[in-house]
Amino acid sequence: MTECPKNCAECASRCEAAGGTADPWLEKLDAMVHEMHGEGNFCCSQTVLAIGMKRLGIDNPDLLRAMAGYCGGSCAGVCGALAGGEALIGLYVGRSTPEPDRDPRQKQLAAALTETFRAYWKSTQCDDLVHGDPEQRKYTCPSLMAGTVEMVWGILHENGISLDTHEVQ
């Protein structure tokens, strides 16, 4: 992953120039984070999942409510954006029935997200990411949320998983 220039249009242009197609969702990612997280709306875990749900056309307030348990590093200090990203991967490839076998890709994709997240931001712990200063959250967390969604979509795309549909198992 390269350093983000904070200019989605520039990244989309480079992608198109390399023979790829620009993902229109990336162009509006920062605006969606601001809309869903700004002004005290959803926390990081909820925002990341809500963006993915919006892309998939899923409206489930109970699922978003359940993600509140991961807000602000409340799950053993893990960054809420990362927790939301892991849930988003589950939304794409997780199972929806109590069958004994799960899709082996889920664990692989979740590990790839954690590894990519840690490599890029040097930690997975909320407190480390905001340097122990809760006031830093308003500056740091929007980038973490947008970056996590981008990481999830990149990992899914690299593994041949459609970003606009989810597999029901």
Q: 16-48: string of b/e by CB count within 10 Å (b at 16+)? A: eeeeeeebebbeebbebbebbbeeeebbbbbbb
The model's confidence at residue 151, banded by pLDDT at 50, 70 and 90, is very high
What pLDDT shows up at residue 104?
80
pLDDT tens per residue, range 72-125? 776 777 999 999 999 999 999 988 778 766 678 889 999 999 999 999 999 999
> Given the structure tokens 């889920």, which residue do they identify?
106
Which uninterrupted H or E stretch holds 139?
Answer: helix 137-158
Q: Is the pTM of this model over 0.75?
A: yes
